[in-house]
Amino acid sequence: TTDENGKFEVDVQNLVAPYMLKTTTANNIDLFSLALSEGTANIHPLTDLVSRNFFAGESGNIETEFNNDTSLTVIPTNVNISAISTAIENLFSASYQDYAVPNGFDCLKSDFDANQLAFDSLLDQLQINYESNNFTVNLADQSTNISTNIVVNLNINVDLTQADTEKPTTPLSIN
């Protein structure tokens, strides 16, 4: 259970890392996260994307892995989780600046409060939708509330750490 600031504690004394975390939102949406060691671990739409992308990229399924009563069939490492997390954070670099997210902020493990400021404000405006094996990322501007699709119908198992070499298309309309 989270407190009024969005904080929670888990006793991992008798557990072995890495840890899979899951929460279900008030809208009945499951969000996942991975913690590779003890300490601060966040659960929000970006950690969910990192976690889902890791397991899908390894031909796995995050729900199956989470519900596995034994051990994980694919073990996340600091190298691959950090690479995916960095790729996603790079995707949001301009938004991080717009929302005054501190330099060096790590979406997986940096401490923040649920106070509608900085990173929490970005999360309030962020929407990630999953349909079949694809995901769409939408972010609303905090001052105008105009929504922008950042990613549209990208396969969840795509290697987000690889450079994007596809040229952008010309927009057909403005919504």
DSSP 60-79: --HHHHHH-SS--SS---HH
pLDDT at 163 over 70: yes
Give the tens place of pLDDT for each residue, 101-118.
Answer: 999 999 999 999 989 999
Give the tens place of pLDDT for each residue, 9-28.
Answer: 888 998 889 999 999 998 99
Cis peptide before 102 (omega within 30 of 0): no
Instruction: Residue count of the chain, please give it.
Output: 175
Question: What do you get for the CA distance between the two ends of the chain, in Å?
Answer: 39
CB–CB of 122/103 below 8 Å? no
Q: What predicted TM-score, i.e. pTM, was given to this entire model?
A: 0.90
CB–CB of 67/80 below 8 Å? no
pLDDT score, position 160: 93
Helix (H) or strand (E) holding 129: strand 126-131
Span 151-175, mean pLDDT?
83
Give the tens place of pLDDT for each residue, 81-107.
Answer: 999 999 999 999 999 999 999 999 999
DSSP structural state of residue 119:
H
CB–CB of 69/20 below 8 Å? no
Task: Report the half-sphere exposure of 2 (CA within 13 A, side-chain side).
Answer: 15
